[in-house]
Every structure is written in C-alpha cells, then in structure tokens.
Structure 1
C-alpha cells in the first residue's frame, strides 16, 4: 500500500510539473517593459462629447484610433490631422469608409483609423450641424508615454488653457 501511495504521489508530482512547465516557460519568455508597436486609443463618441477629449501620445509610433458612437445621434468625426499631407493613414476600418470625410458614425457604429503623424497639437471634432463645441485635442509629442487626460469621475478634462495676461 505504501508503495502504491508513493507511486501516485510521484505521478501527481511529475504530472503537476509537466502541466505547469509551458506556463512557466511562457511567463519567463514574456518581454517585460516592452512597448507595443502600435498605440491603441479608444474614444467613446457620446451625444455632445468625446470621452476622453484630450489625449497625449508619442509621435514615434503609429496610432490606432478607434471611435465608437455610444450616443443616440449621428456624429461626423473629422480633424485637420487627416487633411495634413504629412499624416500617413495606414488603415481605415471599415474599408469602404477610406475615402469618406468627415467620417459618419451612426449610433452603434465603430471606426478604426491607424495612422502616423509628426509632433503637434491636433483638434478633432464632430462636423455635424448643431454639434458646436463637440471637440477634443490630440497632442503628439516625441518620447512620451501615451495617456488620456480624464478626471476621477471618468469625464474628460478640457485641454489646458493659456494664462491670460
């Protein structure tokens, strides 16, 4: 009996090691501190606002910007960023929207744009009539970590205002 118990314990011990070996190997091989090749940003398009509406990203990596219309109204996304000859649009999904501008987003629609652009401050906005003030800012800097600017309530903060003299 002691012999069979020892055999079972040996088998369990051996099986357990084999079961964990791939996981341990995978964890050991994961790159630590590596940045992804593309920066991914998600913007919720809500009625009368973008969330977040102020983003700071690095200009050194391509950006995948995904917009989702979570509101009840139609919105038309646009930016001077995409009119600049220096902006390199890599992909647009859905593909049939590649030539459209501004990009129309019906309620529930998703638009994904992958692009690269030089450092600068770019305004994005809803071009739909009756949606004045529905805008945001994308700041592209050299050598910064990507981050949205939002408050603890989850609402986006407006871009910083210049001090008045």
Structure 2
C-alpha cells in the first residue's frame, strides 16, 4: 500500500508531491516551447590564435547580444575602436562596461563578457593586439536593410 501525503492548500484544493512534480514538468515543457522576446545571443570565442566566427552580420537598429568567451589558455583582448571609441555610434543597453585598456576588454582564460547594444549600419572591426596574436581579428558588419 502506497502512502501519499496530501496537503490542503485551500478548501477543496489538495496537493501532493506527485501532482506537484507533474505541474513543474508541464511548466518547464511549456516554457521550452515558447518563444521569449529579446535578441538572440551570438557567441564569439577567443582561442589560440583566432576568433570564431571571424565575421558577424547583423541588421542595423536591431539589438545585438554578443557573448565574448576566452576558451584559450592565454589572455586575449577584444579591441574595437569602432565599438568602444568616443565617436562610436552605439546605443548600449547595459551599463557602460569598464574598459581595462583603451577601447578594449581583456579576457583571462575561461572569462567571458556579454555586450548588449544596437549599432548603426557600418563595419566594426575587432582584434586582439597582444604581441604574437597576429591575425586574431574579425569584423561585425551591421547592414541597413531599410534602404534595400
């Protein structure tokens, strides 16, 4: 004989562990099937000695969430005068990040940073300027689709 403890929440409403677990599972399934609003996250990986992907294309005036992750064994720098410079035409959707270097973010091995912004149409090059990391560069191309 199984013993199931019922808990009375309100008159006429009873709850047990099994029905609670089924409710939680149903909620998680429903949550996974829904499309949540917000921009998708694009992951940019830094490794020895490359960024991947090296080219990111996005639409102007559309929020972009960029997750930069150092999966290498060495320190890497994400430098972009066009993204971080004083003349950058960027709308940041987060508190302005603290740059450790001029127009750059330094990422130690295993470290990551998320950038959430909207950019005007243009080309936004980035690179790692650490000595010996030559060729570790890429671009973010923001396309103006309204003029197409």
- 1:85-104 superposed matches below 5 A: 85-91=88-94, 98-101=98-101, 102-104=104-106
Match of 1:109 among 108, 111, 123: 111
In structure 2, C-alpha distance between the alignment counterparts of 1:110 and 1:55, rounded to whole Å = 18
Instruction: Tell me: CA distance 1:91–1:100, structure 2 relative to 1, closer, same or farther (3 Å).
Output: farther
The answer on whether the counterparts of 1:75 and 1:128 sit within 8 Å (CA) in structure 2 is: yes
- The structure-2 alpha-carbon separation of the partners of 1:36 and 1:59, relative to structure 1 and needing over 3 Å to count, comes to farther
- The superposition leaves residues 1-42 of structure 1 with CA deviations (integer Å, 9 ceiling, x where unpaired) of xxxxxxxxxxxxxxxxxx8xx78xx59x956xxx94324210
TM-score if structure 2 supplies the norm length? 0.66
Give the secondary-structure state (helix, strand or coil) at the position aligned to 2:109.
Answer: coil
Greater strand percent: which structure? 2
Pick the structure with more helix per residue. 1
Structure 1 regions of 5+ residues with no counterpart? 1-18, 145-165
Matches within 5 A, 1:53-132: 53-79=54-80, 80-83=82-85, 84-91=87-94, 98-101=98-101, 102-132=104-134
Aligned to 1:50: 51
Divergent runs of 4+, >4 A = none
The residue matched to 2:93 in structure 1 has which SS?
strand
- The CA distance in 2 between the partners of 1:30 and 1:140, in whole Å, is 28
- CA deviations over 1:108-128 (Å, ceiling 9, x no partner): 001111111100111111122
Runs of 5+ in structure 2 lacking a partner?
A: 1-22
- The count of corresponding residues between Structure 1 and Structure 2 is 117
